[in-house]
Amino acid sequence: MYNGVILVDKPKGITSHDLVDRLRVLFDQRRVGHTGILDPLATGLMVMLLGKGTLFSQQLTGANKQYRAEIKFGRSTDTFDAEGKTTGEKDPGFMAIEQFEELCGKFTGRIKQLIPPFSAAKVDGQKMYENARRGENIPERYKEVELYEIKIVSFDWPDVTIDVTCSAGTYVRSLAHEMGQMVGCGAYLTDLIRTGIGAFKLEQAVTLRELEKAVEINDFSMIKPLWEAMPEKPRIFVRPEYIKSIIEGRPFIKKYLSRTEYRGPGGCLSLLVDSDSKVVALVQLNYSWGSFDRLDSRDVLGKYVRIIDEGHLRQESA
C-alpha cells in the first residue's frame, strides 16, 4: 500500500469521486481520499491522500483555499454557474472598476453565504441537489464563511476575473450569484480554477496524464511523504527504541524525544516522526517549548490526536 500525498490538477468534466476512482485503479488500492471536492466544471488543485494519508483528512479539510474565478454579469442561473438554466437576464449597464472594487469589499471578511440549491449540502438528511433536480421548492439556507481577499485579475465589464482567498467550505459560485444580486442584474460563474489549498499551490501539481505516465514506468516520486501534508506542523523526532511504545498508545513522555523543530506554545499540534521523517503520530502538546528543559524524563509531553504509524512507502498488502 502506498502512503502519502499527491497534488493533482483535476481536469474539467470529471467529479472528485471520479478522480478518487482513477487513483484507486492506478495504485491498486482502496484507501484513497481527498481534502475537498471540486465541481465537475471546475479545474485545478486537489490534494489526494493515499493509504494512511487518509487519516489526515479531518485535519486537512479545514485548510484555506485559493481560487481564480471568471464571472459574467447580466444573467442568473439556477446552479449559479454556466451549466444551469437561466432564471433571469438584465442589461448589466456600466460599472467602473472602482465600483467593482467597492463591491468586492462588501464581500470581504466573515459573511453569511447563500448555499447553492444544486449542492451536496444536506437538508433533513437529503442532499440539496437531489431535491432541486426533482423541482422541489427549497428554502434558502446560509452558512458562515470568511473571504480573506478578493483581488481583481482582469476587468472587462460585464466579464471579470478575480482571485479569491477564502475559508474552507466557501462556494465561489454563490459569491458570483450574490454579487449579481447586489448589482441588480444577476451574475453567474463561467470558469473556476482552484489555485491553492493551504501551503500547496497548483504549480506543484501533476496532471492526471502525467501521473499515469509516471506510474507506467514505476516512477512514484510524485508521492509526497505524510509530514508534507501538514508542513506548518512542527516535527518532533522520536528515539527509534520508543516508536513501538507510541504505536501501542503508551503516554508520550519526555524521554521518547530525540530532537524537535517545535518552538511554540502549549496546545500546539505537532507531528511525531522517526529519523526518516515517517509519521508515527499526531500529538497535541501540553507544554510550551521553553518549559521542556524543566521537565522530568517521565513527564507526559502531550496527548495523541491520532496514531498514524506510516511505516514504509510500499508495504506488502493494499
pTM given for the model: 0.86
The per-residue pLDDT for 67 is: 98
Report the candidate in 279, 273, 284, 289 with the shortest Cα–Cα distance to residue 239. 273
CB 45 within 8 A of CB 57: no
Residue partners of 298: CB distance under 8 A and separation at least 6: 253, 254, 255
* Contacts for 300 with CB less than 8 Å, ≥ 6 apart: 251, 252, 253, 286
Model pLDDT, residue 122: 67
Burial class (CB in 10 A: 0-12, 13-18, 19+), 83: middle
Q: Is 39 labeled as catalytic in the residue annotation?
A: yes
Question: Grid coordinates representing 40?
Answer: 465537475
What pLDDT does 57 receive? 84
Reported as a single tens digit per residue, the pLDDT across 258-274 is 888 777 776 788 899 99
Handedness of CA 119, 121, 127, 128 (dihedral sign): negative
Alpha-carbon span 245 to 256, nearest angstrom:
9
Helix (H) or strand (E) holding 25: helix 16-27
**Spatial separation of the C-alpha atoms in residues 162 and 160, rounded to whole Å:** 7
Q: Which listed residue (9, 21, 39, 191) is catalytic?
A: 39
Write down the pLDDT at residue 130: 66
Q: How many CB atoms lie within 10 A of CB 99?
A: 12
Residue 153 pLDDT: 99
As a whole number of angstroms, the distance between CA 318 and CA 314 comes to 9
Rg (CA), the chain: 23
Residue 311's Cβ-side half-sphere holds a number of Cα atoms within 13 Å equal to 11
Domains of the chain by start residue, with CATH: 4-63+200-226 (3.30.2350.10), 65-197 (3.30.2350.10), 233-307 (2.30.130.10)
Residues of the chain with pLDDT under 70: 122-125, 128, 130-132, 135, 266, 311-318
Dihedral of alpha carbons 293, 298, 299, 300, sign: positive
